[in-house]
Chains A and B, each alone.
Chain A
Amino acid sequence: MATRDFLLPDLGEGLTEGEIVAWLVAVGDSVDVDQPVAEVETAKAVVEVPSPFAGTVSTLHGQVGEEVAVGTPLVTIEVGGSAAPAAAPVAGHAPQEAEVAEMVPEVEAGSGDDEVVADAGSGNVLVGYGTGGNRARRRAARPAAASDRSASRAETGPRSGTRASRPNSGPGSRPRAKPPVRKLAKDLGVDLTSVGGSGPDGVITREDVRAYAGNGAGGATVPASEDYQDLLRQSGDSGRVTTTSAGAGQRIPVRGVRKAIAEKMTLSRREIPEAVTWVDVDATGLWQLRQSLNASQSDVKVSPLAIILRACVAGLRRYREINASLDTEANEIVLHDHVNLGFAAATDRGLVVPVIKGAETLSTLEIAAELNRLAGAARDGKITPDEMGGGTFTVSNYGSFGVDGGSAVINHPEAAILGVGRITDRPWVVNGELAVRKVTQLSIAFDHRICDGGEAGGFLRFIADCVEDPAVLLGSL
């Protein structure tokens, strides 16, 4: 028996995958041309997908809740003796289909009981709107009668996002490249924002992408991209754990934020020859400053981290090689004009790095306010891609996990990352005598291609001095 694969088509415009919401046929069922075989949800909508072939269903490629990539088989159908092109439906031969289509094919009144938040973005479209990351409420487009389907779908947990990927860039700074070049970059894992364009008006050409990839400079994108909301939701799907056999443990798909983190970390550790140094610090001065700041005003709650961030701004203005990145293509070190301070934040859905933009223009209180706002947004999953892009330096407050020291991974392509341990009471020698002080440990991991121990150590020492005696910081303001 000849079989034919029905490949999942691009159901919207520029979509790359769809999630199986429900199977409407089972293996062994006979199907007619145009008979709906599955409900598939894309970043655009839930739609019934009709079979292009008549025959017997031989394989359903995927479980409910799983994603199918566009262009890969959705269902395989035995079409009889020959793999002839799809036969047109013969009159009176399509029992599944209303003779005159119903006026309401997709959405039935009152089916709004199954509401989900859909905020996927699909990138470019030709007709109609893109679905770029809005958070509109969306009602599942499906007859209310299909309660069994609703049930099966409910088991899949939070929606996994599906969308065409978009290069990692904020609005307005989208690199200029033609669609086939974008696809090539995607295939090669090259982030177009890092590629210089040699074409007219800086358009990135196929050759540019190849050359960049050839340098080994390509790599994964940062979670801080427009894809982020999707990544979050994909991560939410980690409930989809498969147990293989007894004693074989569990297998969790690496996807969403987890996948982005994995790629980002791998890129950093693969590319950056990093070195780490650290120092113990008496943070009593910082502690007292923080209390004074909080006692002097009630508008914003100032955390020790906020003051350290402000010290970083001063330090980065002094040690500019730390606020830098390496352009491997041009073989140049880029010293950034602005200080965009990222801070690592642990959330339910994984690690995210919100960025305080233009931190060099902000006072300590303003930094504290922005830190609190962004941390809250990250925790609530409401952080926008814009708020996570464009960082020039990152601080990891691993002390929030109750630990003292660590060797943080540099947030590629930045030059360094500052680690801050917990602040805890410890014995400390003050003026030749033992005393109980607030003590913490600071570390810096730096890209040894960009700077050396002199700059990194100097920067770290400056931060440490600010922590021990905030008057030092005052002198730099």
Chain B
Amino acid sequence: MDAAPLTPDPAGLLPPVQPVQLLDDQGVLHEVDGYPLDLKDEDFRNLYRFMVLARRVDKQAINLQRQGQLGVYASLLGQEAAQVGGAYALDEQDWVFPSYREMGAALVRGVDPGKILQLFRGTWLSDHDPHATHFGLLSIPIATQALHAAGFAMGAKFDGKDLVVMSYFGDGATSEGDVHEALNFAAVYDAPCVFYVQNNQYAISVPLSKQTKAPTIAHKAIGYGMPGYRCDGNDVLASYAVAKQAVERARAGDGPSLIEAVTYRMEAHTTADDPTRYRTPEELAEWNARDPIARFETFLTREGLVDDTFRAQIDDEAKAYAARMREEIYDAPHGDPLELFEHVYVEPPASYDEQRALLRRELEAG
């Protein structure tokens, strides 16, 4: 009796070594076979709008941290295209399970950024309603959201729901056991899941070269029996087109994929980090030349898709957005710390009461 045939053909799972790029650094469009752009003019403008909003909101969040309004903040500067392009490939019924650096994806999903920032203010673990926008809570522990996504996607499949789940995580997370488990489960169960890695080159200070020996992160996919994709994460069109492929594949019932969007975190890991200790100005300059917004703007201007009036309009909107977020966050009241104990257990264990009493004593002691 013949052994069961290997499925699918492993060779088809391998990613391209060169990331898919549709817009080059100069903003010139090069179409790539297999990655058609199904975007209307309005979509092009929307992508631009989300990227500009993301960058402005991000800057405002950093300012708020430096004004003592946030404990810490993780900037997405430089990753706007990767985040926005990926999330833009999803439909309304689809879900996103983000890490803590996903302000751009949040905006695409319609999440109020001021609510996201409550987490960094220490007031609430994200104040937004995940069910309203299908955008999960920010995951501070590295990689846990990959499991949430895999499980959610498996559940959706069991329930016969038509939805795709996208999990965002970083290059560092790919070394975590959680990602291994999530990819394996999702693949075995053909879960409608897209694992979207923003490879921003550093896990805090650990460079990719010390993160993995794999040829690329996308090459890891074949080990789980799912296709690996690579795209230029600073190219919003490539990020979108590649994500779209993976999303459609998942929606068609063909299972999960792993996308590696090659990008770069221009800012510090968080506001509590000094990246000049581990990367060089030369490297920064090199990536600065690949600014995702500048490149796209060049393209849109040349194509006549945006003009000065539109740009001014978007800038005003971005400012108003940031201003509203600032109002929501500035001096936002902190809850009663004892509230921590309110929503965890139905039947609290004895140790829990002791902890609550200890906290109360500490609070009373000032």
Is A bound to B? Answer: yes
A: residues with CB less than 8 A from B are: 6-13, 33-34, 44-45, 47-52, 85-86, 88-92, 94, 97, 99-101, 103-112, 118, 125-129, 131, 136-141, 178, 180, 206
**B68 in complex: contacting residue of A7, A105, A106, A141, CB < 8 Å:** A7
* Inter-subunit contact A127/B72 (CB<8 Å): yes
Q: How many A-B residue pairs have CB under 8 A?
A: 151
* Inter-subunit contact B284/A129 (CB<8 Å): no
* Inter-subunit contact A112/B281 (CB<8 Å): yes
* Inter-subunit contact A50/B67 (CB<8 Å): yes
In angstroms, Cα B272 to Cα A127, docked, is 8
B356 within 8 A of A: no
In angstroms, Cα B325 to Cα A342, docked, is 57
B251 within 8 A of A: no
B58 within 8 A of A: yes
Task: Give the dominant DSSP class at B's interface.
Answer: helix
* Inter-subunit contact B326/A88 (CB<8 Å): yes
Q: A33 — which chain B residues lie within 8 A by C-beta? A: 326
* Inter-subunit contact A45/B273 (CB<8 Å): yes
**B55 in complex: contacting residue of A34, A92, A100, CB < 8 Å:** A100
* Inter-subunit contact B273/A44 (CB<8 Å): yes
What are 7 A-B pairs with beta-carbon distances under 8 A? A45-B274, A88-B324, A89-B323, A99-B318, A107-B281, A141-B276, A206-B365
Among the interface residues A7, A44, A88, A126, which one has the most CB atoms of the partner chain B within 10 A?
A88
Q: A136 — which chain B residues lie within 8 A by C-beta? A: 277-278
In angstroms, Cα B59 to Cα A51, docked, is 14
Extra contacts, 15 of them, besides A45-B274, A89-B326, A178-B362 (Cβ < 8 A), are A10-B71, A11-B66, A52-B67, A89-B323, A101-B77, A103-B294, A104-B285, A109-B281, A125-B272, A126-B72, A126-B272, A128-B270, A138-B274, A139-B276, A206-B362
* Chain A min CB distance to B291 (Å): 5
* Inter-subunit contact A101/B323 (CB<8 Å): no
Q: B55 — which chain A residues lie within 8 A by C-beta? A: 100-101
B77-120 interface code vs A (CB 8 A; 1 in, 0 out): 11000000000000000000000100000000000000000000
B41 within 8 A of A: no
In angstroms, Cα B63 to Cα A33, docked, is 10
Chain B contact patch, size range: 35 or more
With A88-B323, A107-B275, A138-B277 already in contact, the answer to whether A127 and B74 are too (CB < 8 A) is yes
**B320 in complex: contacting residue of A8, A91, A101, A127, CB < 8 Å:** A91
* Chain B min CB distance to A275 (Å): 41
B319 within 8 A of A: yes
Q: B273 — which chain A residues lie within 8 A by C-beta? A: 44-45, 128-129
Residue of A nearest to B52 (CB): A100
**B56 in complex: contacting residue of A85, A92, A100, A131, CB < 8 Å:** A100
Residue of A nearest to B66 (CB): A49
Residue of B nearest to A14 (CB): B272
Q: B100 — which chain A residues lie within 8 A by C-beta? A: 127
With A47-B66, A136-B277 already in contact, the answer to whether A11 and B322 are too (CB < 8 A) is no
* Inter-subunit contact A9/B66 (CB<8 Å): yes
**B282 in complex: contacting residue of A7, A109, A127, A128, CB < 8 Å:** A109
* Inter-subunit contact B59/A9 (CB<8 Å): no
Q: B63 — which chain A residues lie within 8 A by C-beta? A: 34, 50
**A88 in complex: contacting residue of B268, B327, B361, CB < 8 Å:** B327
* Inter-subunit contact A100/B205 (CB<8 Å): no
Q: A45 — which chain B residues lie within 8 A by C-beta? A: 268, 273-274, 276
Among the interface residues B58, B274, B316, which one has the most CB atoms of the partner chain A within 10 A?
B274
Q: A100 — which chain B residues lie within 8 A by C-beta? A: 52, 55-56, 293, 315, 318
Q: B320 — which chain A residues lie within 8 A by C-beta? A: 91
Q: B66 — which chain A residues lie within 8 A by C-beta? A: 9, 11, 47-50
B: residues with CB less than 8 A from A are: 52, 55-56, 58-60, 62-63, 65-69, 71-72, 74, 77-78, 100, 140, 204-205, 266-278, 280-282, 284-285, 288, 291, 293-294, 315-316, 318-320, 322-324, 326-327, 330-331, 361-362, 365
* Chain B min CB distance to A82 (Å): 15
Q: B269 — which chain A residues lie within 8 A by C-beta? A: 127-128
* Chain A min CB distance to B34 (Å): 30
* Inter-subunit contact A138/B323 (CB<8 Å): no
Residue of A nearest to B78 (CB): A103
Enumerate the 3 nearest inter-chain pairs by beta-carbon distance, A residue then B residue, closest first: A9-B68, A109-B285, A45-B274
In angstroms, Cα B324 to Cα A206, docked, is 42
Among the interface residues A49, A99, A138, which one has the most CB atoms of the partner chain B within 10 A?
A99
* Inter-subunit contact A103/B77 (CB<8 Å): yes
In angstroms, Cα B281 to Cα A86, docked, is 35
Q: B270 — which chain A residues lie within 8 A by C-beta? A: 127-128
**B276 in complex: contacting residue of A13, A107, A178, CB < 8 Å:** A107
* Inter-subunit contact A107/B316 (CB<8 Å): no
Q: A92 — which chain B residues lie within 8 A by C-beta? A: 316, 319
* Inter-subunit contact A13/B72 (CB<8 Å): yes
In angstroms, Cα B271 to Cα A45, docked, is 9
**B281 in complex: contacting residue of A11, A97, A111, CB < 8 Å:** A111
* Inter-subunit contact A109/B59 (CB<8 Å): no
Q: B266 — which chain A residues lie within 8 A by C-beta? A: 103-105
* Chain B min CB distance to A47 (Å): 6
In angstroms, Cα B323 to Cα A107, docked, is 26
**A108 in complex: contacting residue of B56, B60, B281, B361, CB < 8 Å:** B281
**A85 in complex: contacting residue of B281, B331, B361, CB < 8 Å:** B331
In angstroms, Cα B120 to Cα A13, docked, is 12
* Chain B min CB distance to A87 (Å): 9
* Chain A min CB distance to B128 (Å): 20
Q: A112 — which chain B residues lie within 8 A by C-beta? A: 276, 280-281
In angstroms, Cα B274 to Cα A178, docked, is 27
Residue of A nearest to B51 (CB): A100
With A101-B56, A109-B285, A129-B204 already in contact, the answer to whether A11 and B319 are too (CB < 8 A) is no
Residue of A nearest to B206 (CB): A129
In angstroms, Cα B278 to Cα A109, docked, is 14
Residue of B nearest to A94 (CB): B319
With A89-B322, A101-B56, A106-B268 already in contact, the answer to whether A126 and B71 are too (CB < 8 A) is yes
Residue of A nearest to B64 (CB): A52
* Chain A min CB distance to B327 (Å): 5
In angstroms, Cα B266 to Cα A468, docked, is 68
With A111-B281, A180-B362 already in contact, the answer to whether A105 and B71 are too (CB < 8 A) is no
In angstroms, Cα B364 to Cα A180, docked, is 12
Q: A52 — which chain B residues lie within 8 A by C-beta? A: 67-69, 330
* Chain B min CB distance to A50 (Å): 5
In angstroms, Cα B271 to Cα A125, docked, is 11
* Chain A min CB distance to B32 (Å): 25
* Chain A min CB distance to B220 (Å): 25
